[in-house]
Amino acid sequence: MIKIEKVSKRYQSGKVWINALHNVSLDIKEGEFVVFNGPSGSGKSTMLNIIGCLTRISSGRFLLDNEEVSHWPDHFLSSIRTQKIGFIFQQFNLVTGYSAIENVALPLLPLGISKNARLKKAFSLLEKLHIETRADFMAQELSGGQQQLVAIARALINDPKIILADEPISNIDSRHAENLINILTELKKEGKTIIATSHIQSGINRLADRNFTFKDGAIS
Amino acid sequence: MKLTKQINICLMAADNLRRFKGKTIAVIVSLTITMAVCSFMMFTRGGFIRDAETARDFLPDVTVQGIEAGRVAQISLDIIPKIKDIPHVKYVFPRVWGYIPLKIDETDVSYTLMGLDIDHFPHEIDHNTKNEIKLLSAIEDGYFLVPGDRKKAVLGYGVAESFRVDVGDIFAIAQKFGVDVGEIKNIGDKIKIEDLLGNSGEFEIVGVFSNKVQIYTTDLIIVSNEDARNFFGYAEDKASDLLVYLDDPAHADNAAFMISQLFENTRVMTSKALTDLLKEAFGRRGGTFQAMWLIMLMTLLLLIWAQSAHIGVDVSREIGILKAVGWQTGDIIKLKMFESLICGLFGTIGGILLGFVYALMGTPGISGYCIGCASVYPKFPVPVSCDFGSLFLIFLLGVVPVTMTSAIPAWLTGTIEPDEAMRS
């Protein structure tokens, strides 16, 4: 399903060029639960961003569903993100000024779905995650754990095949972390392909079918 | 589906404007003020141009003035027969006119007393010829002077308003008496006016011009040539200028050229040249406001650009999030354009309404500058003209630059990779 071949990623930070990934290769099959481990700056989040089509590779090949998408134009990558990928960010990345339910419904907006239909679908997901009582709360009014649940609901709104979770338990307390692990377990049972990153050994690693450890931009 | 998508994006744009109330209000208020300046400038300029065109209808095809020592002077009536011999010349009328300086309510004002050759003036309007003498048709109350009328006058709307007189009243211009404009005069009443030059006269009002032709007639008092001669002390064989009417105005330039060739000490002006002068005078004033408005618009656009180009961390992060959840760059640009479009529309519509109301109120504070004849009393309102072309142009000037100014920075941010946009 996901094939990474000798992928390198370089980017410029000020005047300095940074080699975030160097000749990394890996395969992930449909329905697998994979965890990228490694310390900060090891390249695991960059790899997750590449798989999520949030950034482009500098060299190598990235195949998604047997199609090389590395050099696809921006609007095709947007379509992939809409149809196939749900992203749970470490910082949740909710849009402030919007309510929880509006944030969840955000990916549906450019698809031409009416407001009522969008909000109905978003509410059902919030119900599924037992956070429907906070539907009308502004994003900034929610606790870290609640924001995480809203971010998960947003990632699931388009029923994607792939769930990407960047350090999903690093910014929430242990109670919410347990809840999150349960949710990911459920998603795995539903056949979703899940790729998560973690800088420490945690409950997520126990769920993983495979663990990849990143160090200095390569898999060790 | 596509329409629903556009509606969704438009509604989100409206929501975003609500979220950033302070910035939204600042942009709309600035744009409203800028567009109000633009609107009142366009509306009044249009009004002046329209009035200048209207005034052209009242001008003779050619006006001939005498020149003495390089200055405008009285003209001899001896040249009239020779002018009449020029091809296409239909009428030549001497005109005696001058200004009546007065002090009303402690204000220095000035009216124009104009004597016409009433006994020979064509009183039947010939609708078949292009050069019909439209003064006759511009009377609102009463009638235009007829042959034999002496000590009678037709007043401009502004003069009639000033002295609160109407048809049938006696209008008197006398020396060294204070002016009483405080009460409505009746037939037989005398109004004592002090002409600062010592001139005096007394006339019965037989007609008042319509206020639709104010730019040309507001300060006019039309009397017979004899009355004007007596008033100003002109000799029998002299006039202020000669009015030449042609059988076809298309020959005005030729006729003017021939007159100027025949008579050296004359200044010859066609109605077109006079109208152009009028337009140019108003156009120059309009130009001042145009320059002012341009500076304001440029400042506003620079401010919007500076704010948009320096997209804040929040907005950049928001664009990154939208891209990450599947929004396309085009949708994001559309979103930002809708935001600007809404601001632009509100600001422009507000500006148009404000400008229109300001123009209708007579452009308080700057009307003297706009009209350019501050001594006319009472002040006649600044002419206002609002047509589809002006409105379209104002919308174009208000909405398009504002929309584009914020669309470009949005595009610049929208084209960077989502993770970079979220991190910046």
Q: Which CATH number characterizes residue A66's domain?
A: 3.40.50.300
**Percent over 70 (pLDDT), chain B:** 71
Asked whether the beta carbons of residue B417 and residue A54 sit closer than 8 angstroms, the reply is yes
Contacts of B125 (CB under 8 A, 6+ apart): B132, B133, B134, B136, B137
Helical segments of chain A, H only: 44-51, 74-84, 100-105, 115-128, 144-156, 174-189, 203-207
Q: How many domains does chain A have?
A: 1
The answer to whether the beta carbons of residues A32 and A209 sit under 8 Å apart is yes
pLDDT of residue A51: 93
Helical segments of B59-141, H only: 80-84
pLDDT of residue A107: 92
Contacts of A110 in chain B (CB under 8 A): 5, 8-9, 326-328, 331
Query: Is B267 domain-assigned?
Result: no
Asked whether the beta carbons of residue A107 and residue B323 sit closer than 8 angstroms, the reply is no
Q: Is A164 helix (H, G, I), strand (E, B) or coil?
A: strand
Query: Is B413 domain-assigned?
Result: yes
Q: How many domains does chain B have?
A: 2
Phi, psi of A66 (to 5 degrees): 65, 15
Nearest to B92 by CA among B133, B57, B45, B55: B133
pLDDT of residue A104: 95
The answer to whether the beta carbons of residues A48 and A162 sit under 8 Å apart is no
Nearest to B90 by CA among B320, B248, B277: B248
Which residue reads 């891209």 in tokens? B323
Handedness of CA A44, A46, A47, A51 (dihedral sign): positive
Average pLDDT over residues B10-29: 87
Q: How far apart are CA B18 and CA B22, in angstroms?
A: 9
Q: How far apart are CA B135 and CA B125, in angstroms?
A: 10
Q: Which 52-111 residues of chain A touch chain B by CB within 8 A?
A: 52, 54-56, 74-75, 78-79, 81-83, 87, 89, 93-98, 106-107, 109-111
Check residue B71 and give left, alpha or beta (phi > 0: left; psi -120 to 50: alpha): beta
Highest mean pLDDT among A164-173, B108-117, B143-152, B242-251: B242-251
- Give me the half-sphere count of Cα atoms (radius 13 Å) on the Cβ side of residue B125: 11
pLDDT of residue A86: 92
User: Could you tell me whether strands A33-37 and A85-88 are parallel, antiparallel, or unpaired per DSSP bridges?
Assistant: unpaired
Same domain, B233 and B99: yes
Query: Is B365 domain-assigned?
Result: yes
Same domain, B236 and B311: no
Q: Is A69 helix (H, G, I), strand (E, B) or coil?
A: coil
Contacts of A113 in chain B (CB under 8 A): 4, 8
Contacts of B1 in chain A (CB under 8 A): 112
The answer to whether the beta carbons of residues B16 and B318 sit under 8 Å apart is no
In eight-state DSSP terms, residue B175 is S
Q: How many helices (H) and strands (E) does chain A have?
A: 7, 10
Q: How far apart are CA A192 and CA A28, in angstroms?
A: 12
pLDDT of residue B154: 83
Average pLDDT, chain B: 77
Q: Which helix (H) or strand (E) holds B275?
A: helix B271-309
Query: Is B76 domain-assigned?
Result: no
Average pLDDT over residues B389-407: 82
The answer to whether the beta carbons of residues A161 and A84 sit under 8 Å apart is yes
Domain of residue B289, residue span: 2-53+278-423
pLDDT of residue B370: 59
Same domain, B300 and B392: yes
Same domain, B219 and B287: no
pLDDT of residue B184: 42
For residue B170, what pLDDT band results from cuts at 50, 70 and 90?
A: low
The answer to whether the beta carbons of residues B399 and B341 sit under 8 Å apart is yes
A88 token code pair: 């749970």
Same domain, B97 and B236: yes
Query: Is B115 domain-assigned?
Result: yes
To the question of pTM greater than 0.90 for the whole model, the response is no
Query: Is B265 domain-assigned?
Result: no
Q: Which helix (H) or strand (E) holds A163?
A: strand A162-165
Contacts of A154 (CB under 8 A, 6+ apart): A86, A94, A103, A104, A106, A107, B325
Average pLDDT over residues B55-73: 83
pLDDT of residue A47: 93
The radius of gyration of chain B from alpha carbons, rounded to an integer in Å, stands at 30
Same domain, B226 and B93: yes
What's the gap in Å between the CA of B341 and the closest CA on chain A? 19
Which residue reads 């809409």 in tokens? A82
Domain of residue A97, residue span: 2-219
pLDDT of residue B106: 67
Contacts of B319 in chain A (CB under 8 A): none
Residue B217 has pLDDT above 80, yes or no: no
pLDDT of residue B188: 42
Cis omega (within 30 of 0) for bond into B381: no
Burial tier of B198 (Cβ tally within 10 Å: 0-12, 13-18, 19+): exposed
pLDDT of residue B213: 58
Cis omega (within 30 of 0) for bond into B147: no
Contacts of A75 in chain B (CB under 8 A): 328-330
Residue B166 has pLDDT above 80, yes or no: no
Q: How far apart are CA A149 and CA A103, in angstroms?
A: 11
Of the candidates B228, B247, B266, which is a domain's last residue?
Answer: B247
Average pLDDT over residues B87-111: 81
C-alpha pair distances (Å), A79 with each of A5, A31, A52, A122:
23, 21, 11, 20
pLDDT of residue B42: 80
Q: Per-residue confidence of chain A (220 residues) as pLDDT tens digits?
A: 899 999 999 988 778 888 889 999 999 999 999 999 988 888 999 999 999 998 889 999 999 988 888 888 888 888 889 889 999 988 889 988 899 999 999 999 988 888 899 999 999 999 988 889 999 999 999 988 899 899 999 999 999 999 999 988 877 777 778 888 888 888 889 999 999 998 877 778 888 899 999 998 888 8
Of the candidates B247, B264, B295, which is a domain's last residue?
Answer: B247
For residue B64, what pLDDT band results from cuts at 50, 70 and 90?
A: very high
For residue B186, what pLDDT band results from cuts at 50, 70 and 90?
A: very low
| Interface residue B267 vs chain A (CB under 8 A) | no
B238 token code pair: 């002299």
Q: How far apart are CA B169 and CA B185, in angstroms?
A: 6
Q: How far apart are CA A124 and CA A135, in angstroms?
A: 10
Average pLDDT over residues B376-403: 76
Mutate to test the interface with B, among A75, A87, A102, A109 (most CBs of B within 10 A): A109
Q: How far apart are CA B37 and CA B360, in angstroms?
A: 13
Same domain, B117 and B45: no
What's the gap in Å between the CA of A114 and the closest CA on chain B? 6
For residue B287, what pLDDT band results from cuts at 50, 70 and 90?
A: low
Q: Which helix (H) or strand (E) holds B43?
A: helix B21-58
